[in-house]
Each structure stands twice: as structure tokens, then as C-alpha cells.
Amino acid sequence: MAKKKSEVLADALAQLLQESADIDGAAVVGIDGLVYSANVSQRALDESMVGATSAAVFGLSNRSVEQLKRGNFKQTLIQGDDGNMIVAGLNSETLFVGLTPSNVNLGMVFAEVRTIISGLIEIL
């Protein structure tokens, strides 16, 4: 029996977190904040809060990029004392959210995110 798309996304996120040295939480979220799949349990976060926050970050980032004539939204990085949040567009309706510790090599994280996005786009 074929897996549902949500199960395939969950498997992909679990695999990503297992293989990644830098990303320790991830989600696929609609631009409306609906969480399609999330693996953020090791950070003891509420999945719905991840979805809502990601949608808000996307909304502000997307408007900013448009108003400043920077093309289409690609990704946003938010850095906090205890870690980072990366919100990246998968398609016009869906976002990838990656959570990292604060002491990571952001160049490596961005490279990983690009690879992850390619894989997730194929699933979507």
C-alpha cells in the first residue's frame, strides 16, 4: 500500500535530522501556518506554534522582498541567543522551516537547506 504524502514528508524530515549535523528540528508548513509535517520534539516545541510563527515570518519577509524590489522570496534567517530559524520557500504555498543550535556554520546549513528543499519539492 502506498504511503500518504504526509507519511512520506514525515519520513523525509526524520531522515534529514538523522543525517544533519547542524539542523535539529524541521517542519513543512503551509504559508497559512498549517503544519503538514514536523519533527521538532527534541526542542520541546509546540508544532502549531512553529507553523504560526513560520507563516508570520514568511508574510513579513515576502512583503519586504516585494516592497524593496528584491525579486521573489527565497529564505529568511532569524538568529537568537539559543539558536536559529530558517524559513525557506518550497513552492508558492509551502515552506520549509529548519531549527539549528546557535553555534553552527551557517554556510553549511544553507547548503543543507538547498539540498533538503530539492528533495522536498520532489515529494510535494
| Pairwise CA distance, residues 72 & 52, whole Å | 21
| Pairwise CA distance, residues 112 & 3, whole Å | 25
| Pairwise CA distance, residues 75 & 6, whole Å | 23
* 97 class by beta-carbon count within 10 Å (0-12 exposed, 13-18 middle, 19+ buried): buried
CATH of the domain at 53: 3.30.450.30
pTM: 0.91
pLDDT in tens, 66-112: 999 999 999 999 999 999 999 999 999 999 999 999 999 999 999 99
Q: What is the mean pLDDT of the chain?
A: 92
Domain containing 102: what range?
5-123
State the CB neighbour count (10 A cutoff) for residue 4: 9
Number of folded domains that form the chain: 1
Is residue 72 within 8 A of residue 54, CB to CB? The reply is no
pLDDT in tens, 1-20: 678 888 899 999 999 888 88
Listed in sequence order, the residues at least 6 apart from 8 whose beta carbon sits closer than 8 Å to its beta carbon are 123
